[in-house]
Amino acid sequence: MSENSLEKTMKALVLEKPAPVESGPLLLCDLPVPQIGEEEVLLRVRACGVCRTDLHIVEGEIPSHLLPLVPGHQIVGAVEEVGEKVKDLARGALVGVPWLNQVCGSCRFCQEGKENLCENALFTGYDVPGGYAEYVATSREAVYKLPAGYKEEELAPLLCAGVIGYRAYRMSGVKEGDVLGIFGFGSSAHLVAQIARAEGVEIFVFTRSPEHQRLARDLGASFVGRAEDHPLRPLTSAIIFAPAGNLVKNALSYVERGGKVVMAGIYSTPLPEIPYSLLYWERSVKSVANSTRQDVRELLDFAQKFHLEVKSEVFPLAEANRVLRLLKESKIKASAVLKPQP
Ligand SMILES: [Zn+2]
Ligand SMILES: [Zn+2]
């Protein structure tokens, strides 16, 4: 890094202590532009998606790993500088950084190709600084090339909402002609709905917000209702995106024999007591934890081959507290994206 950039500062949103988002826990600060190591990359952030996980981190529903913290793990940035050992990225290239940042490669999960379960994993905007900033330094292994034909604000939500949704969708095991139930309809669900439709899977959507119901219909849902509305036909499997544990009971009572109920969130309120008969007939409930690098590549490939309509609302970086509050109140239509330079 040149001496000049040592003095350079950037705007960043910093969480010093988790607190309800209504109290404005993210502070707009001037921080030094980070310096990079030899296997790292400095990105100028062009867009950073806002994920429900950010809300859980900011409010302390999941334990803090690093404080003070710059959150944000759906980063689209232009390569500003590369470390000495990074040979395959050119300055100016537009790239993406997802939630999974670094893994150890040696624990038994890494050895089995399940690096999403790595015992020593580092996550972007949680264990290492994230993208709610003008610049971010990140390890080369966390940087992905992005599909063509999308705007920056359309690419950002692919990096977690898209990737985790994709992993949950694959875990649901649905195929052409099946019916997939989707509980909660936001950033991730609106992308999964399109992946499912592209593969000939019918979707039934359960959500309270009239605006989310409308969006679900626009994206091809053949049934739209609230969680307590019994669907016309049984579901083959279901994915729960809303962080409400009681939905497990609804989902299990709607899936047919052998059906899977996949919980896509990093946090949920407690699960209810359920009669064993709901789980019987080889129904299962499973959570999704993070993603593998292969999931990221597959989702980005999918988005290259099949154009996903990413519904993004763009906000200035400085408004992150307000955006998180809107997300908490289900007032974001699909995906919210922060931009340092609107
Ligand atoms: Zn590991
Ligand atoms: Zn996320």
Looking only at Cα atoms, what is the longest distance across the chain?
67
Q: Are 3-157+311-339 and 162-287 in the same CATH fold?
A: no
Could you say which ligand is closest to the alpha carbon of residue 122?
1
What is the pLDDT averaged over residues 303-323? 97
For the chain, which residues make up each domain, given as ranges?
3-157+311-339, 162-287
Q: How far is the CA of 44 from the centre of ligand 2 (A)?
A: 20
Digit-coded pLDDT (tens) for 89-98: 999 999 999 9
Q: Name the band, by pLDDT with cuts 50, 70 and 90, for residue 341.
A: confident
Q: Name the band, by pLDDT with cuts 50, 70 and 90, for residue 342.
A: low
Q: How far is the CA of 25 from the centre of ligand 1 (A)?
A: 32
What is the pLDDT averaged over residues 269-287? 97
Q: How far is the CA of 142 from the centre of ligand 1 (A)?
A: 15
Could you say which ligand is closest to the alpha carbon of residue 290?
2
Q: How far is the CA of 6 from the centre of ligand 2 (A)?
A: 31
Give the integer Cα–Cα distance in Å for 104 and 119.
8
* CATH architecture of the domain with residue range 3-157+311-339: Alpha-Beta Complex (3.90)
Is the per-residue pLDDT at 5 higher than 70?
no
Q: What is the pLDDT of residue 6?
A: 55
Q: How far is the CA of 122 from the centre of ligand 1 (A)?
A: 10
Is the per-residue pLDDT at 2 higher than 60?
no
Q: How far is the CA of 47 from the centre of ligand 1 (A)?
A: 29
Q: How far is the CA of 101 from the centre of ligand 1 (A)?
A: 12
Digit-coded pLDDT (tens) for 188-210: 999 999 999 999 999 999 999 99
Is the per-residue pLDDT at 326 higher than 70?
yes
- What is the token pair recorded at 26? 């993210």
* Domain range 162-287, CATH class: alpha beta
Tracing tokens 């950033």 back to the chain, one arrives at: 187
Is the per-residue pLDDT at 3 higher than 80?
no
Complete DSSP assignment for 289-313: -S--HHHHHHHHHHHHHS-----EE
Q: Name the band, by pLDDT with cuts 50, 70 and 90, for residue 1.
A: very low
Amino acid at 324: L
From the number of C-beta atoms within 10 Å of its C-beta (0-12, 13-18, 19+), residue 182 rates as buried
Digit-coded pLDDT (tens) for 46-105: 999 999 999 999 999 999 999 999 999 999 999 999 999 999 999 999 999 999 999 999
